[in-house]
């Protein structure tokens, strides 16, 4: 099962741009995710854990 961490780079309306922290490619494109799939308390700079097809706040 995939487990990784993301940082919320930008929130744009109903979507958030997530940058993977442990990516091997530093120039990788951010991932666009619908905010409905993310915890409601997120803001720019929030660290997220993706595990078992769910996102949760780390800090």
Its pTM stands at 0.88
Distance (Å, rounded) from C-alpha 26 to C-alpha 34? 23
Domains in the chain: boundaries: 3-57
Which architecture does CATH list for 3-57?
A: Beta Barrel (2.40)
Task: Using alpha carbons, list the distances in angstroms from residue 53 to 2, 26, 27, 49, 50.
Answer: 8, 24, 24, 10, 7
pLDDT digits (tens, 9 = 90+) for 10-50: 999 999 999 999 877 878 899 999 999 999 999 999 999 99
Give me the residue label for tokens 């993977």. 20
């Amino acid at each position: 099962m995939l487990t990784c961490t993301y940082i919320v780079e930008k929130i744009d309306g109903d979507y958030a741009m997530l940058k993977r922290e442990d990516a091997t490619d530093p120039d990788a494109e951010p991932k666009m995710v619908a905010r409905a799939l993310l915890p409601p308390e997120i803001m720019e700079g929030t660290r997220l854990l993706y595990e078992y097809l769910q996102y949760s706040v780390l800090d």
